[in-house]
Structure 1
Amino acid sequence: MELVVMVGLQGAGKSTWVRGHLAATHAVVSKDHWPNAKRREQRQRRVVEELLAAGRDVVVDNTNASPEDRAGLIAIAHAHSARVRAVHLATPLELCLERNDRRTGRARVPLVGVLGTRNRLVPPSVEEGFDRVDVVSPS
């Protein structure tokens, strides 16, 4: 059983990567699935916990920019004896901004949001409790 925690800026290609590599084998959980919900973070953790308790492989598709953002997910994975892997999409800011500019409606993130995430972004490391960290560069 595995929990994969995606890490990267908005527009980095996380959701596209998940669709191409994990969607067929892992339950995909994202706060984007509940755009109007209150307490999205708590809801996400509850869903992840329920899926792991049921023995499912799970991928969390959010920015997960800081160790603090990731700590609760890592703890849930460890509580269920699941392997926990980070996949960091190390896409340059300029490319993320270009991709974000092509988005429409709610999919487009305000510039201040992307820059705020960039300022908080700390690359994931095994010292946080990950069993493995994969870094994906844009192709």
Structure 2
Amino acid sequence: MVGLQGSGKSTWVAEHLAGTHVVVSKDHWPNARRREERQHRVVAELLAAGRSVVVDNTNPAPGERAPLVELAREAGVPVRAVVLDTPLEVCRRRNDARTGRARVPDVGLFSTAARLVPPSIAEGFVQVEQVDGARRRVLR
């Protein structure tokens, strides 16, 4: 998954992938140290066990996605990207409606938006699917 906080990634996962994939997210371990390392370890273990995995995080830049693509490649499984293309203002409104730890400070949302680079086949994905996150429909 690729998209800003509040773009609809978790909703998309719940509606389209949770029945067939194990959902892995750093949000599952809010207090853990080295969440990135833990996520990579869990993904590698699941792939080695033959499980289908979806990583439900922002994954905004190629450098953040590359280790996950590499884990899939090492496991011999194809990897696709699903991009939730949701306008920043829509994400901001959704985020503002969140409470507690679920709400991301605006600086975090804007920081992710500044780093967001759409994924491409050149990164090792076999498919890049773009979803209109405001309307939840597939664009390509």
Within 5 A, what are the aligned runs for 1:3-18?
Answer: 6-18=1-13
Please give the root-mean-square deviation of Cα atoms over the aligned residues, in Å: 0.3
Task: Report the residue type matching 1:133 in the other structure.
Answer: V
Q: Residue 37 of structure 1: CA displacement?
A: 0.2
Q: Does 1:27 align with 2:47?
A: no
- Report percent identity of matched pairs: 66
**Is 1:59 equivalent to 2:71 in the alignment?**
no
Moved over 3 A (4+): none
Say whether residues 1:44 and 2:39 are aligned partners.
yes
Please say if 1:72 is aligned against 2:56. no
Q: Identify the residue that residue 119 of structure 2 maps to in structure 1.
A: 124
Secondary structure, counterpart of 1:70 in structure 2:
helix
Alpha-carbon offset, residue 42 of structure 1: 0.2
| 3-state SS of paired residue (2:4) | coil
Q: Which runs of 5+ in 1 are unaligned?
A: 1-5
Kindly provide the CA deviation profile for residues 3-36 of structure 1, in whole angstroms up to 9, marking residues without a partner as x. xxx0000000000000000000000000000000
Task: Give the TM-score of the pair, scaled to structure 1.
Answer: 0.96
What number of residue pairs does the alignment pair up? 134
Q: Does 1:111 align with 2:96?
A: no
Post-superposition Cα deviations, 1:93-114, rounded to whole Å, max 9, x if no partner, equal 0000000000000000000000
Listed as ranges, the gaps of 5+ residues in structure 2 are: 136-140
The 2-side partners of 1:69 and 1:109 are apart by 19
- What secondary structure, in the 3-state scheme, does the structure 2 residue paired with 1:7 have? coil
- Supply the distance in 2 between the matched residues of 1:106 and 1:38 (Cα, whole angstroms): 16
Distance between the aligned counterparts of 2:113 and 2:64, measured in 1? 14
For residues 74 and 126 of structure 2, what CA distance do their matches in structure 1 show?
14
